[in-house]
Amino acid sequence: MTSHTEHLEAANTELAVLRQQVMAACSYIKGQCSSGGDFDGKLLDDWQLPSYELAFCMAELSAAAALNDYGQKLPADKFTQQLALSFCAETLQGVLNRLVARATDVGLDREKLLKIHGRVVYRSLLDTYASSEFLSSLGSEIVENDIQRLPSLLSEEKELVRETFFRFANEVVMPHAEQIHRFDEDIPDSILQGAAELGCFGTCIPERFGGLQPDDRPDSLGMIVVTEELSRGSLGAAGSLITRPEIAARALLSGGSERQQQKWLPLLAAGKMLCAISITEPNTGSDVAAVSLKATPTENGWLLNGSKTWCTFAGKSELLVVLARTNKDPSLGHKGLSLFLVEKPSFSGHDFTHAQPNGGSVTGKAIATIGYRGMHSYDLFFEDFFVPAENLVGEEAGEGKGFYFTMAGFAGGRIQTAARATGVMQAAFENALSYAKNRKVFGRVVADFQLTQVKLARLLATLAAARQFSYAVAELMDDGAGLMEASLVKLFSCRAAEMLCREALQIHGGMGYAEESAVSRLFVDARVLSIFEGAEEVLAIKVVARELIEGSS
């Protein structure tokens, strides 16, 4: 190996070796969970820990591969390629250690795994790119050149979009971010109106409905670029503004009637109607198929009765996308669910009640949270709340298909959440780098210490891996694939955001724990990322691992 590009190619080979081991472990579990030659998903509950570990192994390997591929596109950029190789080397070591520890559980040969340590290329990658001296040299270069992000390979058009929302985050969002977080205030109209004027609510809505997405093809990358920059400004005040219209639009495009699409999508795209997604219930959590909110047929429509929880932005929103059970037969499971478009007035503050002329009502009360403030997440209670028949997504043909429409929306929500995580990481890294360069301890600036330099190198590498992984998945999704990868990138990026924000706060020392430091807000905001849009455990075990195991040979 004579060049960094060749090293990256060799590293991808080593990543593939471990990927084969992960799939071999999945194949072993599949055999243990098969009855009469058929896979039985119920038996997978006895394999939750191995499944969880394997899902993260695959997510980390995929992130490293995405960063390596990005590095190979920049043959003249020595720093970027070195950073990619450092991330790959540490990923290889971490994944291999996890497989060795879990070998007996998943039917792998521990001795064979240990021999991977002895592979010449593997050893060379670790010795060269994971050494303390090499990592600290990368950190030193970051500090000396104030490297806040790696080169963009975005098109001129996408780079212009990114720069526009970068300025919006700096000039409009950030001045309000601390006030909103500290006092749990509503998002001000200056942010909502400014975001609407820039078209952010229409990033995933086709142009024929007034959105920014081309009519002839999806544009997930555009949505990711906008989301990153808004989340960099503030997750609670701006970064999640796109999520709800993203999920609602994908559900409508997947199952809505032409009339419904023509009515609702232009309003959502223009930001003239804010929306919230109401799926979760107090007793169901991430088990969407167990939703029990009742939708009972009545003259010209339906009556909703029951509770929902964690409905973010429900107060300000004038449209609630609600999943309800239209067939009371519990044996139907997810096939008895339908999706409704529920209209209500916009309310400010932390609680609201909307009473209908016929006596029906919906009440909401905001849930106090440690972070992710501004949008507010609500407990909702519906009592004989009337919804017109034409507001059933898909109308008559959509009855019983709500679960599928919801899942279509969630696929976009997962990759969008990965982008939110990247935006939070970007902000945390910028704060950590700035503080490390200016804060003095023991007679030296914090950035002069080897451990700080190593941390900065690892943080930038992790941030870059998350960004490039999400970009790669966006391309897959726009080609009609990538559903599994959307789950993988959410797993990786959301966990990475927690780690990165923790280390960014640690670099600040005591000041990082003070509310006056932005990094403290970023730290608590990052914690929610692994919970919403598919809790980490459910996503890893019930979605990623199950698909890997069931699809293994």
Q: Is residue 552 domain-resident?
A: no
Does residue 533 carry a catalytic annotation? yes
Each as own residue / partner, the long-range contacts of residues 432-441 (CB below 8 Å, 24 or more positions apart, any chain) are 432/456, 432/459, 432/503, 432/504, 432/507, 432/508, 432/519, 433/142, 433/143, 433/146, 433/148, 435/507, 435/508, 435/511, 435/519, 436/143, 436/507, 437/143, 437/146, 439/508, 439/509, 439/511, 441/509
Eight-state DSSP code of residue 337: E
C-alpha–C-alpha distance, residues 317 and 264, integer Å:
13
Q: Is residue 126 domain-resident?
A: yes
pTM for the full predicted model: 0.93
C-alpha–C-alpha distance, residues 186 and 197, integer Å:
19
C-alpha–C-alpha distance, residues 400 and 544, integer Å:
25
Q: Is residue 488 domain-resident?
A: no
From the list 343, 533, 537, 547, the catalytic residue is 533
What is the enclosing helix (H) or strand (E) of 69?
A: helix 48-72
pLDDT, one tens digit for every residue, the chain (553 residues): 458 999 999 999 999 999 999 999 999 999 999 987 788 888 999 999 999 999 999 999 999 999 999 999 999 999 999 999 999 999 999 999 999 999 999 999 999 999 998 888 899 999 999 999 999 999 999 999 999 999 999 999 999 999 999 999 999 999 999 999 999 999 999 999 999 999 989 988 999 999 988 888 888 899 999 999 999 999 999 998 988 888 899 899 999 999 999 999 999 999 999 999 999 888 776 566 678 899 999 999 999 999 999 999 999 999 999 999 998 887 777 889 999 999 999 999 999 999 999 999 999 999 999 999 998 999 999 999 999 999 999 999 999 999 888 888 777 778 899 999 999 999 999 999 999 999 988 889 999 999 999 999 999 999 999 999 999 999 998 888 888 999 999 999 999 999 999 999 999 999 999 998 999 999 999 999 999 877 899 999 999 999 999 999 8
Provide the number of structural domains found in the chain.
Answer: 1
Take residue 307 and report the two structure tokens written for it: 């509770």
Q: Is residue 508 domain-resident?
A: no
Going along 87-208, which residue ranges are E strands?
none
Q: Is residue 249 domain-resident?
A: no
Q: Is residue 23 domain-resident?
A: yes
Q: Is residue 29 domain-resident?
A: yes
Query: What CATH number should be reported for the domain holding residue 22?
Result: 1.20.140.10
Q: Is residue 374 domain-resident?
A: no
Structural domain range at position 85: 4-130
